[in-house]
Amino acid sequence: MQSFINMSRIGKLPVQIPKGVEVKVEGNSVKVKGTKGELEKKLPDIVKVKIENGQVSVTSSGKSKNSKALWGTYRSHIANMVHGVSEGWEKKLEMVGTGYRAKLEGKDLELTVGFSHPVKIKAPEGITYTVEKTIITIAGVDKELVGQVAAQIRSIRPPEPYKGKGIRYVDEEVRRKPGKAAKTEGAVS
């Protein structure tokens, strides 16, 4: 029986630092600064980061399965931070339903999605909203925060399976169920 060495395939890949982005390692934290903003992430003691030749390389000092997992995870976090401060992240949501509307009030978002009252969503620090007809765009530097805010907005009125009404991601495919009429039609014939 052969023994295989568990290595993180993603952790081995270096992260390229584009022009205009500055990466600093201070103790157990990595700071990334770019044209769009600045991010900081604390690292566990197992993960070590080196900056050389315009690349960030991540290594793991542990041999356990957990340390290998952290190795790849934190390499991906650093890559996302570099992408975020240079180009930014965005998620697009689509509102499907009669009378569903979104509008901006300053930096905050106000949704009319079938409740007796409009739902107001405050913009967290570093997040901007844009609204074009039924498309809501959430943009920011931090990928985790952009995804979290998009998920919170979607959870206000998730798409329902019968008519497909609700708030969904633009590229999301909603699985539709047949209604009562389709069920009774099959029983009659």
Backbone angles phi, psi at 66, to 5 degrees: -65, -40
Task: Say if CB 123 and CB 109 are below 8 A apart.
Answer: yes
The model's confidence at residue 124, banded by pLDDT at 50, 70 and 90, is: very high
Read off the DSSP letter of residue 91: E
Residue 185: its pLDDT value, please?
A: 62
Residue 2: its pLDDT value, please?
A: 45
In tens, the pLDDT along 32-60 reads 999 999 999 999 988 999 999 999 999 88
Give the chain's domains with CATH numbers.
Answer: 9-86 (3.90.930.12), 89-169 (3.90.930.12)
At residue 68, does pLDDT exceed 90? Answer: no
At residue 141, does pLDDT exceed 60? Answer: yes
* Whole-number Å distance between alpha carbons of 144 and 84: 10
Residue 76: its pLDDT value, please?
A: 94
Average pLDDT value for residue range 92-108: 94
Residue 123 CA: distances (Å) to CA of 104, 108, 148: 10, 5, 12
Torsion of Cα atoms, 70 then 71 then 77 then 81, to 10°? 150
* Whole-number Å distance between alpha carbons of 31 and 41: 7
Collapsing DSSP states into helix, strand and coil, what is residue 73? helix
Question: Hey, how many other C-beta atoms are within 10 angstroms of the C-beta on 67?
Answer: 17
* Whole-number Å distance between alpha carbons of 11 and 16: 13
pTM: 0.85
Tokens 């390229």 belong to: 16
**Residue 88 region, left (φ>0) first, then alpha (ψ -120 to 50), else beta?**
left
* Whole-number Å distance between alpha carbons of 157 and 119: 10
| Nearest Cα to Cα of residue 43 among 67, 21, 19, 22 | 67
Tokens 């050389």 belong to: 52
Average pLDDT value for residue range 1-21: 74
Question: Hey, how many other C-beta atoms are within 10 angstroms of the C-beta on 154?
Answer: 19
Q: Which amino acid is at 152?
A: Q
